[in-house]
Amino acid sequence: MPKTIAEINEKIRKGQAVVVTAEEIIDIVEEKGLKKAAEEVDVVTTGTFGPMCSSGAFLNIGHSRPRIKLGGGKVYLNRVPAYAGLAAVDIYIGATALPDEDPRNSEHPGEFRYGGGHVIQDLVAGKDVELTAETYGTDCYPRRRLETLINIRDVNEAILFNPRNCYQNYNVAVNLSDRTIYTYMGVLKPRLGNANYSSAGQLSPLLNDPLYRTIGIGTRIFLGGGIGYVAWHGTQHNPSVPRTERGVPKEGAGTLAVIGDLKTMDPSWLVGVSMTGYGVSLMVGIGVPIPIL
């Protein structure tokens, strides 16, 4: 008989739920058939772990004495610029932000040794991060400069918010030219010397739920080693692409915007990466459960 989500949740609470990965379910279906597998398995787990440039973190650092208005000023974390166009002590550090002094690709290919993704990983690892800020004074926020160390344990809030993760299907990158090129898909050798792809394949969350029947706003997920949620569809979400008879998109389609408490996350699942000749990013671990109803 079909199961309900409430029944599955009750089995989870009792420790009786049968949970397998998206890889394991393939062998179970081959051995027992689709109907029997659906009766026996309650949840299939999916996941992905790769560079996701549309990632970042909101921080509320708390008020200094005397108070300072970061909004409208300039803020740096370990010399990496953070966005300060918010309220007095709210900032956003993006995964691809670079220090002003980074040479970028002036000496091609650039190394991009440290950036926003690394700052986020350092924060999650519990390391002290240097904050420097310069701004204008007001009657209620007279301070104009701040240099201090912040730690994720001490800030009021630290929220990972990623506008686009978990791309549903993606391109394969090759290089037809006669020179090596450096891209967000990695280093591509000349004359079809290699082919790089970005997909978790049979583990991919949105390839296992191609029509978004169970994954949606409010879905509770594994995010960066902690608990997160699907907040909205991600940027560039395009569910209207051509699909196979089973609904699998033939090109890039759905995406997820995700959110979670950065203080509960693990630096093993949020990893700053340097991509030669391209820039910096953040590798994000995401796991999504799919109930078998």
Beta-carbon contacts of residue 159 (< 8 Å; ≥ 6 apart): 57, 58, 59, 259, 260, 261, 262
To which residue do tokens 């978790």 refer?
A: 200
To which residue do tokens 């597998």 refer?
A: 37
What is the Cα Rg of the chain in Å?
Answer: 22
Query: For the chain, how are helix, strand and coil distributed in percent, rounded to 5?
Result: 15, 35, 50
Catalytic residue flag (residue 53): no
H helices within the chain, ranges in order? Answer: 5-13, 24-32, 34-40, 116-124, 205-208
Which residue of the set 6, 100, 139, 140 is catalytic?
Answer: 140
Taking a C-beta distance cutoff of 8 angstroms, is the pair 94, 116 a contact? yes
Quick count: other Cβ atoms within 10 Å of Cβ 220? Answer: 12
- Rounded Cα gap, residues 166 and 48, in angstroms: 7
- Strand blocks (E) in the chain: 19-21, 43-51, 56-60, 74-77, 80-82, 90-94, 129-134, 145-150, 157-165, 172-173, 181-183, 186-188, 196-197, 220-223, 226-233, 256-261, 270-275, 279-291
Quick count: other Cβ atoms within 10 Å of Cβ 135? Answer: 20
Tokens read off for 138: 């007001």
- Rounded Cα gap, residues 114 and 272, in angstroms: 8
The residues that are catalytic are: 140
